[in-house]
Amino acid sequence: MPAKQRTRADVELRLPADSAYVSVLRTTTAGLAARLDFPIDDIEDLRIAVGEASAMVLPEAASDTDLTCSFYMTAGSLTVEVSVEAPFPVQPDYDSFAWQVLSTLATRAEADTSDGRFSVKISMEPGEPGFGP
Amino acid sequence: MRPDRVRYEETSGDVSASGTDPTRQRSAELFELLGDSARSESDRAAAREDLVHLHLPLVEHCARRFRNRGEPFEDLVQVGTIGLLKSIDRFEAARGVEFSTYATPTIIGEIKRYFRDKGWAIKVPRRLQELRMQITTTTAELTQNLGRSPTPRELAERIGCTVEEIIEGMESSNAYATLSLDATDDGEETGGSMLDALGIEDPDLEHVEVRESIKPMLDQLDPREKRILVLRFFKNMTQTQIAEEIGISQMHVSRLLTRTLDQMRVAMQDAL
């Protein structure tokens, strides 16, 4: 966990849990990362990672619910958590290609399936090489 | 735009008072006729026909908003009319909404779909196109100098614009991606043969046993896309490094990666 991780998100976005809205999320993420002056490489990686994370949680979403996205910003890091209401979430397969993609793109990636929600949280801390944990 | 009452006449001089009270009244009468199952089929067909003519100025009004985007106005009116027809068939007068209010989004949607099908989701203004090219070249330049990928601020300083503009330029770059959905080449190539980038028996894939399940999918990819994917996710190279290795811009690498992952996701879902 980043040292100064706040409990309250700096930016929150709620979208219909529909893949059609993921591009909005991608754009928002890239915009925030750019404002934190991340290197272009990291901004673009994060843009892709958020798309992947959304693709991971969306199939688990209960119908007619929202995709909630929380952004936590510090000077050197951006954490994005995408989550959906999922009464019966499937445990994520950490050996899957999708996880491989996430953990390569982000500095950290973790999934959580508690309280009836399925969430995937990714952090990007530029400066560190993009090697896995 | 939420036109409670579209005033079509304001954009075109000779349109008769369409969109004004007599039109609305006439429209309401025709819809009543159209929905009256006691009427003969031909009466109702005639009412539908009249409705189309009555509201054609609305289509022209909508189409006019998409002028100067390289498509003939007549074509836009034609596709917009499809939207009008759909609206007429679905409209329920009992809901108490003005027909023009109801039809406008459908007509515009139809016109937008036309643009989308033509391959340009968003018309990127020339200014942004130029900025995009500047960002591409400056990114390459600064990457050389800095030994890493530059930040938006560094790009802005070098180009002499604001960070906001850089962000806008990067977005336009992504809008541009939809352009290349059906085209593998978008003119950014350096002309190097595709085969140059192709490993015969890709050695990178050999030690990727866990990924056995995705191998068939990888094999279906365009060789260059496959290579980029492998370099990024199995060799942990950065987008900039890949760009250099393959001889395309970093933005292009980003676009190709996004597209490839989307393709694979669809393929994976189909396979389930």
Interval A99-131: pLDDT, tens: 888 988 999 999 999 889 999 999 999 864 333
Task: Give the per-residue pLDDT at B201.
Answer: 45
pTM of the model: 0.57
pLDDT in tens, B40-81: 888 999 999 999 999 999 999 999 988 877 677 888 899 999
Residue to mutate among A25, A29, A40, A58, with most B CBs inside 10 A, is A40
DSSP letter, residue A70 = E
Query: CB pairs below 8 Å between A and B: how many?
Result: 80
Q: Which helix (DSSP H) or strand (DSSP E) does residue B223 occupy?
A: helix B223-233
Residue B148: pLDDT band (50, 70, 90) is: confident
Amino acid identity at B106: T
Q: Where are the beta strands (DSSP E) in chain B?
A: none
> In this structure, are residues B213 and B153 in contact, taking their beta carbons and an 8 Å threshold?
no
Share of residues in chain B with pLDDT > 90 (%)? 18
Best mutation target, B226, B235, B265, to test chain A (most A CBs within 10 A): B265
What distance, in Å, lies between the first and last C-alpha atoms of chain B? 42
Helix (H, G, I), strand (E, B) or coil at A11: strand
Residue whose C-alpha is closest to residue B103's, from B3, B30, B184, B207: B3
0.85 surpassed by complex ipTM? no
What share of chain B in percent tops pLDDT 70? 72
Q: In this predicted structure, what is the pLDDT of residue A42?
A: 92
Q: Do A39 and B139 touch (CB under 8 A)?
A: no
| pLDDT range class, residue B12, cuts 50, 70, 90 | very low
Query: Any idea of the CA torsion for B134, B136, B141, B142, to the nearest 10 degrees?
Result: 100
The CA–CA distances, whole Å, from A43 to B217, B235, B239, B241, B253 equal: 27, 19, 11, 15, 13
pLDDT of residue B140: 87
pLDDT < 70 positions in chain A = 1-7, 127-133
d(C-alpha A58, C-alpha A67), whole Å: 8
Q: Could you report the per-residue pLDDT of B182-217, keeping only the tens digit for each?
A: 333 333 333 333 444 444 445 454 444 435 566 777
Mean of the pLDDT values across residues B141-153?
90
- Nearest Cα of chain B lies from the Cα of A3 at a distance, in angstroms, of 24
Out of A27, A37, A101, whose CB is closest to B153? A37
B217 close to B268: Cβ distance less than 8 angstroms: yes
Type of residue numbered A54: S
Q: What are phi and psi of A15, to 5 degrees?
A: -130, 155
**pLDDT tens-digit map of B27-36:** 988 998 888 8
Check if B172 contacts A (Cβ < 8 Å). Answer: no
Distance from CA of A103 to the nearest CA of B (A): 9
Other beta carbons within 10 angstroms of residue B9's beta carbon come to: 17
pLDDT of residue B117: 63
Supply the pLDDT for residue B174: 66
